[in-house]
A and B are shown apart, each in its own frame.
Chain A
Amino acid sequence: MSVLVDEDTRVVVQGITGGEGKFHTEQMLEYGTNVVAGAVPGRGGQEVAGVPVYDTVQQAAREEDANASVVFVPPAFAADACFEAMDAKGIDLVVAITEGVPTQDMARVYRKLQETDTYLVGPNCPGLITPGVAKLGILPGNIFSSGNVGLVSRSGTLTYQVVDNLTERGLGQSTAIGIGGDPIIGTDFIDALELFEADPDTHAVAMCGEIGGEDEEEAARYIGEHMDTPVAGFIAGRTAPPGKRMGHAGAIVSGSGTGTAESKISALEDNGVPVGDTPEEVADHIEDLL
Chain B
Amino acid sequence: MRLHEYQAKQVFADAGVPTPASQLAETVDEAVDAAEDIGYPVAIKAQVHVGGRGKAGGIKLVESKEEAREAADAILGMDLKGYHVSKVLVEEAVDFVNELYVGVTMDRGEGKPVAMVSTKGGVNIEEVAEEDPDAIAREHIDPAFGMHPFQARKVVYEAGVDRDVANDVASVLTTLYQLWDDRDGADVEVNPLMITSDDEVIAADAVMNIDGDALFRQPELAEMGEEAAEGDELEQKADEYGFDYVRLSGNVGIIGNGAGLVMTTLDLVDYYGGKPANFLDVGGGAKADRIANALDMVFSDDNVDSVVFNIFGGITRGDEVAQGINQALEQFDEIPKPVVVRLAGTNAEEGMEILNEELVTVEYTLEDAVQRAVEFAQEVEA
Known: A76-B217, A143-B345, A156-B258. Contact between A103 and B106, CB under 8 A? yes
| B367 touching A280, Cβ below 8 Å | yes
Bound CA span A109–B106, Å:
14
Interface stretch (choices A28-36, A48-56, A195-203, A241-249): A241-249
A76-B217, A111-B112, A256-B129 are contacts. A208–B260 as well, Cβ < 8 Å?
A: yes
Whether the Cβ atoms of A140 and B313 lie closer than 8 Å is yes
Nearest CB on B from A114, distance (A): 9
In the complex, which of the residues A140, A215, A241, A251 has the most CB atoms of chain B within 10 Å of its own CB atom? A140
Decide if A161 touches B259 in the complex (CB within 8 Å): no
Which residues of chain A (76-120) have a CB below 8 Å from chain B?
A: 76, 100-108, 110-112
B279 touches A138 (CB 8 A): no
A-binding segment of B154-162, B193-201, B208-216: B208-216
Q: Bound complex: CA of A46 vs CA of B266, how far in Å?
A: 47
Contact A111 B366 (CB under 8 A): no
Q: How far is the CA of A199 from the CA of B54 in the complex (A)?
A: 57
Q: Is the CB of B261 within 8 A of A278?
A: no
B142 sits at the interface (CB 8 A): yes
Q: A279: which of B129, B246, B366 is its contact (CB, 8 Å)?
A: B366
- B191 on the interface (CB 8 Å rule)? no
- Chain A nearest CB, measured from B85 CB (Å): 20
A158 in the interface (beta carbon within 8 A): yes
Contact A101 B267 (CB under 8 A): no
Residues of chain B with a CB closer than 8 A to A237's CB? 263, 266-267
The answer, among B271, B315, B344, for a CB contact under 8 Å with A138, is B315
CA distance A277 to B269 in the complex (A): 11
Give A287 to B367 CA distance when docked, in angstroms. Answer: 19
CB pair B260–A104 under 8 Å, yes or no, is no
CB distance from A278 to the nearest CB of B (A): 6
Is residue B92 contacting chain A, with contact meaning CB distance below 8 A?
A: no
CA distance A236 to B360 in the complex (A): 27
A183 to B89, CA, bound (A): 34
A251 touches B268 (CB 8 A): no
Q: Are A160 and B186 in contact (CB under 8 A)?
A: no
Tell me if A233 is interfacial: C-beta within 8 Å of chain B: no
Which of the listed residues B127, B259, B314, B344 has the most CB atoms from chain A within 10 Å of its own CB? B259
CA distance A154 to B216 in the complex (A): 25
Which residues of B (14-73) have their CB < 8 Å from a CB of A? 51
Q: How far is the CA of A125 from the CA of B109 in the complex (A)?
A: 18
The reply on B144 being an interface residue by CB < 8 A is yes
Indicate if B273 sits at the interface (CB-CB under 8 A).
no
Q: Which of B193-246 contact A (CB under 8 A)?
A: 211-214, 216-217, 244, 246
A255 touches B260 (CB 8 A): no
Chain B residues with CB below 8 A from A278, complex form: 268, 271, 366-367
A181 interface neighbour in B111, B259, B315, B367, Cβ under 8 Å: B259
Taking a contact as CB atoms closer than 8 A, the residue among B109, B129, B261 that contacts A158 in the complex is B261
Tell me whether A161 and B264 are in contact in the complex, defined as CB-CB below 8 angstroms, given that A103-B186, A246-B279 are known contacts: yes
Does A147 make an interface contact (CB < 8 A)?
A: no
Given A236-B267, A249-B213; A157-B129 close (CB under 8 Å): no
Asked if B143 lies at the interface with its beta carbon under 8 angstroms from chain A, I say yes
Known A154-B260, A160-B314, A213-B108: A246·B246 in contact at CB below 8 Å: yes
A192 within 8 A of B: no
The answer, yes or no, to whether A274 is at the interface (CB within 8 Å) is no
| Minimum distance in angstroms from B122 CB to a CB of chain A | 17
Quick check: is B324 within 8 A (CB to CB) of the other chain? no
- Say how far B185's CB is from chain A's closest CB, in angstroms: 8
- Per the bound structure, the CA–CA distance linking A183 and B110 in Å amounts to 10
Beta-carbon contacts of A161-188 to B below 8 Å, as 1s and 0s? 1001000000000000000010110000
Contact B214 A184 (CB under 8 A): no
Q: A247-B281, A248-B259 are in contact. Are A255 and B51 (CB under 8 A)?
A: yes
Q: Would you give the shortest CB distance from B52 to chain A, in whole angstroms?
A: 11
B143→A161 contact, CB < 8 A: no
Contact with B263, one of A110, A111, A211 (Cβ below 8 angstroms): A211
Question: Is B270 within 8 A of A76, CB to CB?
Answer: no
User: Once bound together, how far apart are the Cα atoms of A210 and B263, in whole Å?
Assistant: 9
- The reply to whether A183 and B108 form a contact with Cβ atoms under 8 Å apart is yes
A139 at the B interface (CB under 8 A): yes
Bound together, the chains give a CA A76 to CA B266 distance in angstroms of 32
Chain B positions within 8 Å of A138 at CB level = 284, 314-315
Query: Which residue of the partner chain A has the closest CB to B347?
Result: A140
How many Å from the CB of A276 to the closest CB on chain B?
10
B276 at the interface (CB under 8 A from A): yes
- Taking CB atoms, residues of chain A closer than 8 Å to B276 are 239
In the complex, whether B118 has a CB less than 8 A from a CB of chain A is: no
- Give Cα A215 to B109, complex, Å: 7
Q: How far is the CA of A214 from the CA of B367 in the complex (A)?
A: 28
Chain A nearest CB from B13 CB (Å) reads: 23
Give the residue of A140, A159, A213, A238 whose beta carbon is less than 8 angstroms from that of B270: A238
Contact A104 B214 (CB under 8 A): yes
Given contacts A254-B126, A278-B367, A280-B367, contact A75 B270 (CB under 8 A): no
- Does B192 interact with chain A (Cβ within 8 Å)? no
A247 touches B262 (CB 8 A): yes
Known A-B contacts A161-B344, A278-B367; A246 and B259 likewise in contact (beta carbons under 8 Å):
yes
Determine the distance from Cα of A155 to Cα of B281 in the docked complex, in whole angstroms.
13
The distance in angstroms between the C-alpha atoms of A104 and B174, with both chains bound, is: 17
What string of 1s and 0s marks CB contacts (under 8 Å) between A136-157 and chain B? 0011101100000000011111
**Can you pick out 25 interface pairs between chain A and chain B where the beta carbons lie within 8 Å of each other?**
A102-B217, A103-B106, A103-B213, A103-B214, A104-B181, A104-B184, A107-B111, A107-B143, A138-B314, A139-B314, A142-B346, A155-B259, A155-B263, A157-B312, A157-B314, A161-B366, A181-B260, A236-B261, A239-B267, A240-B279, A244-B246, A249-B212, A249-B213, A256-B130, A278-B367
7 shortest interchain CB distances as A-B pairs: A155-B260, A247-B259, A157-B258, A158-B260, A256-B126, A102-B214, A157-B261
Interface residues of B (CB under 8 A from A): 51, 106, 108-109, 111-113, 126-127, 129-130, 142-144, 181, 184, 186, 211-214, 216-217, 244, 246, 248, 256-264, 266-271, 276, 279, 281, 284, 312-315, 344-346, 365-367
